[in-house]
């Protein structure tokens, strides 16, 4: 059997396994819907990034997990144990990290509209780096840091003029994005210049992030080139040294058979060659390189387990299979038509020769998980698993229709462990007055 993620298999009973654990056993123990994550695979991915950055940048690199992909206390502790940094984009993510005793100096705080409260919280807790998005924020950071008697390290978010949100990438003169400072207009350079008279801010470097689910190395190389040239410009015209260059995340993963990602370390190698070549050509030193992978660390490690509640055939049109979850636990189809593949965990050894549309239980006709999923003949009570749901599923889940969020279970070394409890109806009403 070939699945999109290599941690999935089929045992003698014909059941789907994840990290060697029978999915039906987990269903029995924890109920459905259920997020299951393979901790061993997550750790392997974290180590791959950590080691590749160390190798290709001679120890002067750091991978930071983009926690928005999957943010829980347990995940933050895994990241800390493996020695990576963490990227957070809100007070809530920062609070989660600090609650897990994540080392603050290895946290990088993002966002295009951080509130004063969030900035005060971050600076007060000695967050390692704040990624400055706009000039108002730069001023706020200086004021808040002064009030707290701190000097805050910052890097600037730059729009490198490369847009790679799709399978192709485009270079535009002026990208239309709410994030960061534009290069071509001189906005970026004057923002960096503005740091010079800010006593409570220390300039560390630059950041960029060109998109997500990218399969091609070229846009990343092109971005590295643009950023290195800007570092040179900053040196020449402002006489400022850039110690850090954060190249963001965005590496693609396999959701469906046709997705063809390259291995992460090959990508890092290719980009490092570009960075080093540019450093030599421009006669500047290679900065510390940071990266922020999110999806590629956790997405392939997770599945969502559902039970089939009804099968509805609409003759000559399609057959709907409805499961006991949907857009509340996975809004990615309804938000942007994301594609997934599915397996029947109790019939994992059977041939997938039927076509179904897998629908959720929410009151929206767009509440679909997969259109035209290939599955064996589906019956009520079957256990349907959507694959590669480890990123942007739990973290994007809602209580729409007042549906309690599912539990999250991690498997490791053949053992399972509950890391997020299933919400109860009590949880759903707990803030109602």
- The contact set with ligand PLP (CB under 6 A) reads 66, 68-69, 87, 110, 209, 212, 248-251, 292-296
The minimum distance between CB 209 and ligand PLP, in angstroms, equals: 4
Number of other CB atoms surrounding residue 283 within 10 Å: 8
d(Cα 300, Cα 430) in Å, to the nearest integer? 33
* Nearer CB in complex with ligand PLP: 214/408: 214
The minimum distance between CB 98 and ligand PLP, in angstroms, equals: 20
* Nearer CB in complex with ligand PLP: 110/221: 110
* Nearer CB in complex with ligand PLP: 293/302: 293
The minimum distance between CB 31 and ligand PLP, in angstroms, equals: 29
Respond yes or no: is residue 363 known to be catalytic.
yes
CB 392 within 8 A of CB 71: no
Q: Give the list of residues 6+ apart from residue 254 with CB closer than 8 angstroms, or none.
A: 4, 5, 260, 261, 300, 388
> What are residue 70's phi and psi, to 5 degrees?
-165, 100
Number of other CB atoms surrounding residue 225 within 10 Å: 19
* Nearer CB in complex with ligand PLP: 56/264: 264
Q: Which two tokens stand for residue 275?
A: 């960075």
The minimum distance between CB 361 and ligand PLP, in angstroms, equals: 28
CB 413 within 8 A of CB 335: no
Quote the radius of gyration of the chain (alpha carbons, Å).
23
Query: Is the N-terminal amide bond of 411 cis, ω within 30° of 0?
Result: no
> What are residue 328's phi and psi, to 5 degrees?
-70, -30
CB 345 within 8 A of CB 425: no
* Nearer CB in complex with ligand PLP: 34/164: 164
Q: Give the list of residues 6+ apart from residue 424 with CB closer than 8 angstroms, or none.
A: 404
* Nearer CB in complex with ligand PLP: 66/78: 66
Largest pairwise CA distance in the chain? 71
The minimum distance between CB 429 and ligand PLP, in angstroms, equals: 32
* Nearer CB in complex with ligand PLP: 87/324: 87
d(Cα 315, Cα 428) in Å, to the nearest integer? 39
**Of 202, 354, 363, 385, which is the active-site residue?**
363
* Nearer CB in complex with ligand PLP: 141/373: 141
The minimum distance between CB 340 and ligand PLP, in angstroms, equals: 16
The minimum distance between CB 79 and ligand PLP, in angstroms, equals: 13
The minimum distance between CB 252 and ligand PLP, in angstroms, equals: 8
CB 189 within 8 A of CB 237: yes
Name the residues annotated as catalytic: 363
């Amino acid at each position: 059997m070939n699945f999109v993620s290599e941690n999935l298999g089929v045992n003698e009973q014909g059941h789907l396994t994840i990290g060697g654990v029978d999915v039906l056993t987990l269903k029995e123990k924890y109920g459905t819907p259920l997020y299951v994550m393979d901790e061993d695979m997550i750790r392997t991915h974290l180590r791959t990034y950590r080691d590749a950055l160390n190798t290709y940048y001679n120890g002067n690199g750091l991978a930071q997990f983009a926690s928005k992909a999957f943010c829980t206390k347990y995940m933050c502790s895994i990241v800390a144990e493996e020695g990576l940094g963490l990227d957070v984009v809100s007070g809530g993510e920062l609070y989660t990290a600090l609650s897990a005793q994540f080392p603050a100096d290895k946290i990088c705080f993002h966002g295009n509209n951080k509130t004063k409260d969030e900035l005060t919280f971050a600076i007060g807790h000695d967050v390692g780096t704040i990624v400055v998005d706009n000039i108002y924020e730069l001023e706020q950071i200086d004021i808040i840091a002064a009030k707290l008697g701190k000097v805050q390290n910052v890097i600037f978010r730059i729009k490198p003029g490369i847009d790679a949100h799709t399978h192709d990438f485009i270079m535009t003169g002026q990208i239309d994005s709410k994030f960061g400072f534009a290069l071509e207009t001189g906005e970026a350079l004057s923002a960096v210049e503005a740091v010079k008279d800010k006593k409570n801010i220390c300039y560390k470097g630059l950041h960029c992030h060109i998109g997500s689910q990218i399969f091609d190395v070229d846009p990343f190389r092109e971005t590295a080139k643009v950023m290195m040239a800007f570092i040179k410009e900053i040196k020449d015209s402002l006489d400022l040294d850039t110690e850090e260059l954060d190249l963001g995340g965005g590496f693609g993963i396999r959701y469906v058979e046709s997705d063809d990602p390259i291995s992460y370390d090959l990508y890092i190698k290719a980009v490092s060659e570009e960075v080093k070549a540019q450093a030599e050509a421009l006669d500047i030193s290679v900065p510390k390189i940071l990266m922020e992978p999110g999806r590629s660390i956790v997405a392939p490690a997770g599945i969502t387990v559902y039970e089939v509640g009804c099968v509805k055939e609409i003759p000559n049109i399609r057959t709907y299979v409805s499961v006991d979850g949907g857009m509340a636990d996975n809004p990615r189809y309804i938000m942007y038509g994301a594609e997934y593949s599915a397996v029947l965990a109790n019939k994992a050894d059977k041939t997938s020769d039927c076509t179904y549309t897998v629908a959720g239980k929410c009151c929206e006709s767009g509440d679909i998980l997969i259109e035209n999923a290939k599955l064996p003949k589906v019956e009520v009570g079957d256990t349907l698993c959507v694959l590669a749901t480890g990123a942007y599923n739990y973290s994007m889940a809602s209580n729409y229709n007042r549906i309690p969020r599912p539990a999250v279970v991690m498997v490791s070394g053949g053992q399972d462990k509950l890391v997020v409890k299933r919400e109860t109806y009590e949880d759903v009403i707990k803030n109602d007055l």
